[in-house]
Amino acid sequence: MATMTSMPPSSPSSPLASQSLSAPTRQASNLPLRTIPGSHGWPLVGPISDRLDYFWFQGPDTFFRSRMEKYKSSVFRTNVPPSFPFFLGVNPRVIAVLDCNSFAHLFDMEVVEKRDVLVGDFMPSTAYTGNTRVCAYLDTIEPKHAQLKNFALDILKRGSRVWVDELQANLDKFFDTIESEISKDGNSSFISHLQTFLFYFLSKSLVGADPALDPGVADSGPLSINLWLGLQLLPTVPLLAFQPLVEIFLHSYTYPFVLISGGYRKLYSFIEHHGKEVVQHGEKEFGLSKSDTIHNLIFILGFNAYGGFSIFLPTLLGTIASDKNGLQARLRDEVRRVCGSSTGLRFDSVKDMELVNSVVYETLRLNPPVQLQYARARKDFQLTSHDSTFDIKKGELLCGYQPLAMRDGNVFEEPESFKPDRFVGKGKELLDYLFWSNGQQTGSPTESNKQCAAKDYVTLSASLIVAHMYRRYDSISGDASRITAIEKAK
């Protein structure tokens, strides 16, 4: 999700719009032209071999690193799952782009298009989204894209009036539960509590609907979304344990919508009845049908917001809670220095917390919530890496493995290391090269691009969560799934 360009900069509870900058690519004329190395292999054999490496023998990180080393290039041809024999009509052939320069082309809408390539050439059944192609699957030149993108930007603007208050109120409930479990059991496995917090906070902020008013979703909402997400994406998600059972039983099939249709219908009814104001706004102000409005709201709520935060926040909390190098004391001191005697936090407050924001950015750099980005060549063009130029043909599918692109040693010093101060001071210039939101951190989402509509809401909300935590606690111990100890603020 991301900043809205239409949001008034003076709004006290709204993030400022980001400056839009050009992608950090070099001029093709300055670099030698090179044939793209690598191969898709023999029909059937090549895709199956690469699939087994990706899902089983190597895992995604080693899969891409080993080929980059083999071809001495950050741009090469390979196959990515899913593929034949169980996924008819899905073409696994891609051109991998694994450095910051080549990766940036994935977001240049003049040369690439994004029609139905959210998870590559494979697309989950539209039954999962009410038999409609929601905004995430639309290319920018499709007329409905502008309607839906502007609707997404607008509901964020409307939600900004309650966003921070709802976040902090539900965050306090989350921490109350954590404290209770630690007092009782000595530790707290917090993932399910975090997802409950996210579901309530995001439902009220984005949809204007309170889950507490609907017993059908109050308790089952997070589980319904988890199952809805899981069944759509399971054919593409690496699970390195329990092989070959995972390959045989989980990666070899698409899963019918009927398995989760009951939970989805409850979510639809929940938004229809308790989010009436937002639904009617989509119909009257943006010319959307009621059905399209609700299905896109479910996708924004469940896939973009809930799904992204559910991956990112545990990593962020785990990174901070497990640090042994004094980071927590530095974060605590900055939060309390910036906040002073203020009784509340706002987005304006956390914008001045350079270290807090840098830790959020650095966590996104090393552990982006979405690991793979795809785009299809809109026309023939020349793609540049740091040292070469490559001819790309219209229709070829580009695949960027984000964790590796964000470890580009030509851009980031000690790229494999977590450096909490990386984006402090002059380091903010590196934000031009930070990609995690379907675009660079210094870009702005508009109807003419595919950048996540709430990009800045994500980073500022994460910073606010860290700040809230250090106003409440002196320290917190644990990892990405469990909190083992807390020390309340003195």
Asked if 485 and 477 touch (Cβ cutoff 8 Å), the reply is yes
Residue with tokens 């593409």: 236
- Name the DSSP class of 205: I
Question: Pick from 15, 23, 10: which is nearest to 442 by CA?
Answer: 23
- C-alpha of 387 from chain center: 29
Q: Which residue intervals of 203-307 are DSSP H helices?
A: 215-218, 221-233, 245-249, 261-274, 276-286, 290-299
Q: Phi and psi of 376, rounded to 5°?
A: -110, 140
Task: Write out the two tokens for 271.
Answer: 């938004």
Asked if 356 and 466 touch (Cβ cutoff 8 Å), the reply is yes
Rg (CA), the chain: 22
CA–CA gap between residue 46 and residue 49 (Å, rounded): 5
Asked if 277 and 208 touch (Cβ cutoff 8 Å), the reply is yes
Residue with tokens 């593929």: 83
Asked if 21 and 443 touch (Cβ cutoff 8 Å), the reply is yes
Burial class (CB in 10 A: 0-12, 13-18, 19+), 262: exposed
Q: Write the CB contacts of 88 (distance below 8 Å, at least 6 apart in sequence).
A: none
Q: Write the CB contacts of 324 (distance below 8 Å, at least 6 apart in sequence).
A: none
CA–CA gap between residue 43 and residue 449 (Å, rounded): 35
Question: Pick from 269, 267, 358, 276: which is nearest to 319 by CA?
Answer: 358
Angle at 362 between CA 104 and CA 162, to 5 degrees: 95
Residue 452 assigned ligand-binding role: yes
Task: Write out the two tokens for 91.
Answer: 């073409």
CA–CA gap between residue 462 and residue 201 (Å, rounded): 13
Asked if 75 and 95 touch (Cβ cutoff 8 Å), the reply is yes
- End-to-end, the C-alpha distance of the chain in Å comes to 36
Cis peptide preceding 82, ω within 30 of 0: yes
Strand-pairing partners, residue 189, are 482
- Name the DSSP class of 439: S
Q: Residues forming the annotated binding site for heme?
A: 452
Q: Residues forming the annotated binding site?
A: 452
